[in-house]
Structure 1
Amino acid sequence: MAARIVNMILGAWLLISAFAWYHPPGQRLVTALVGIAIFVVAGLSAFVPNLRLLNTAIALWLFISAFIFPSANEFTILHNACIAIIVFIVALAYGRKTARFGLEHRRRQPA
């Protein structure tokens, strides 16, 4: 659950950051839409756990878009790339932890 909350916070922050300082129009749109997508997908992954994998794909897109869209400054590129890396790691870590606990739970059940 903590991983979902972290990704929801990061998604909300991305949406806010799109308007917190100057972004060229393309970069602002990508940052805002990706922020919304990360927030929504992280929330929905509470009901569909494998949906977290969509956040890894979204994080990859954010990372790539940080470098392919024109940016006003290096801070925006660095910011979006770092957020993308964190979202990617958190989404994968959540799945790994869930799978590990699922295996432990199965072992404890009597046959």
Structure 2
Amino acid sequence: MGYDVHITRADSWTESHERPIADAEWTTVIASDPELRPSEYNERNRFVAAFWTGYPGSGGGSDCFVLDDGKITETNPDETVLRKMVEIARKLDARVQGDDGEEYT
């Protein structure tokens, strides 16, 4: 089990469905960022994911951001990933919030 951090427009990430980030908005951000590579849309589970190919951690691998239920979620992000999440949130007029409600700027 991990600790999730979310990009959301809601006051609380648990209410992201009330002020959702739309699939189309997320795919536009993915397309505009050369470090993000889209994964296939999962129609059955209704999520849109993107791999951060520019992620320098873990031997230069990639990290994955998943849009689901109006929010983008990352599990156990390090400081580098949190900075990328803040960058993405700014593009979406959103904020970055952890499971316990703390905000990252």
State the TM-score, normalizing by the size of structure 1: 0.31
Q: Which has the higher contact order (CA 8 A, sep 6+)?
A: 2
Greater per-residue helix proportion: 1
TM-score normalised to the size of structure 2? Answer: 0.32
* Larger strand fraction of residues: 2
